[in-house]
Amino acid sequence: MTDGSAGAAEGARFDTIVAGGEVVDPGAGFLGALDVAITDGRVVTVEAGLDRRRAAETIDAAGLIVTPGLVDLHTHAYWGVTYWGIEPDPVSARTGVTTWLDVGSAGAYSFPGFRRYVAEASRTRVFALLNLSSIGLIAPSWEFANPDYWDVDLAATMVEANPDLVLGIKARIDRNTTRGVGIRPLELARELADRVGLPLMAHIGSGPPSLDEVAELLRPGDILTHCYTGGDMRILGQDDVPHAAIRALQARGLVLDVGHGGGSFSYDVAEKLLAHNVLPDAISSDIHQMSVQGPMFDLPTTLSKFLNLGMSLPDVIERATARPAAAMHRPDLGTLRPGSRADLALFRLEEGDYTFHDVGMVARTGTKRLVNTLTLIDGKILPRTPERELAPWAALPAHQRR
């Protein structure tokens, strides 16, 4: 330090101060007009009225919402190898999502490529749930139709060899993924998750199997994704009553995850479940080759739908930061707590008249919209770069083409 005496008088110096914004980090308890100081890629302090002269660089966040980098609990990031995958960094830079949990794109046979070409090649933090199916999501469906791909031993070996990246197990359970083999793949996914001691994420849609069969195999700490699906495995029963077993499991710690995607978010189901106080524990995008074209678009748009369904901004942000990070057993992510990695997102909370759609193109109007303006990872701005062209097979279903 060349100016030691001045430094002591003014306090420590920082690389960057994100100044003048409205911080919304409910997980860490930071809410209000606060500045965020960053040095060496980590948050040093979050406090009001920091002297801007103490930083080499100031990012002016006046009029903006400042949150931890968003954590998306349901994504598909395995571009070029799987049917669904898209490249994370260009999307992260325009959405504020700094941590992507890829859920089941890779199975045991394709996980080494996921590590090298996706996780290690991205500035975005990309983690994975390993698919029980050894082939993962190379193709749109049928990953469990061939029992030769249900290799619990091989999957366990792959999980144990990659503890830094694999945070759980994924199984898609619906009539298209299982093609007549019943609930057996979920039983094996349960066995695998128990063996490696990690959470299990089950996807639901239209059965068979039934939601009753799925519920029997879920435990507290597991994740049920597509919780507002309009498919016949929906967690809303006859007479619009929430499924009792799922509701009881949620009370004991089952994580209900939105996973909007291209076919898994129904306004009708969401509104009825919210009216019964069945709230999502995580609001995720299920972003992929199709859903990125709309009506899902991206995580900020999905969060905006829940703002306009009546949830508060802190409640919505918590479900895309601290809560999904906790579900991943990575409480070091999705937080501005001093000492954590300086992943931040800046948003404009726009007011106007907006129309949003669910996957059936049912419309709802709203007055609020979150728009990302800047994204930082490790304290550095993630530059906006062009997104790759969509795959030749990435056509939206006819009813979603607008």
| Site of interaction with Zn ion (CB under 5 A) | 286
Burial of 318 per CB tally in 10 Å (0-12, 13-18, 19+):
buried
Nearer to Zn ion, 25 or 358 (CB): 358
Nearer to Zn ion, 93 or 204 (CB): 204
In 181-243, which ranges are E strands? 200-203, 223-225
CA torsion, ordered 68, 69, 75, 76, to nearest 10 deg: -170
Q: In the bound complex, what is the minimum distance in angstroms from residue 100's beta carbon to Zn ion?
A: 12
Structure tokens at 356: 């949003």
Nearer to Zn ion, 138 or 376 (CB): 138
**Residue 380 phi, psi dihedral angles, 5° rounding:** -115, 140
Q: In the bound complex, what is the minimum distance in angstroms from residue 287's beta carbon to Zn ion?
A: 9
Using Cβ positions, the residue closest to Zn ion within the complex turns out to be 286
Residue 45's DSSP bridge partners are: 37
Compute how many other C-beta atoms are within 10 angstroms of the C-beta atom of residue 372. Answer: 23
Nearer to Zn ion, 72 or 286 (CB): 286
Q: In the bound complex, what is the minimum distance in angstroms from residue 76's beta carbon to Zn ion?
A: 6
Please name the residue that has the structure tokens 């960094």. 89
Structure tokens at 373: 């303006």
Nearer to Zn ion, 21 or 262 (CB): 262
Nearer to Zn ion, 96 or 104 (CB): 104
Q: In the bound complex, what is the minimum distance in angstroms from residue 117's beta carbon to Zn ion?
A: 19
Nearer to Zn ion, 87 or 286 (CB): 286
Q: Starting at the edge strand that comes first in sequence, how are the strands of the sheet with 97-103 ordered?
A: 70-75, 97-103, 125-131, 166-172, 200-203, 223-225, 255-257
Q: In the bound complex, what is the minimum distance in angstroms from residue 261's beta carbon to Zn ion?
A: 5
Q: In the bound complex, what is the minimum distance in angstroms from residue 84's beta carbon to Zn ion?
A: 7
CA distance 324 to 386: 28
- How far does CA 62 lie from the centroid of its chain? 27
The stretches of 243-383 forming alpha helices (DSSP H) are 244-251, 267-275, 299-308, 313-318, 322-327
SS3 (DSSP) at 306:
helix
CA distance 297 to 291: 6
Q: In the bound complex, what is the minimum distance in angstroms from residue 232's beta carbon to Zn ion?
A: 18
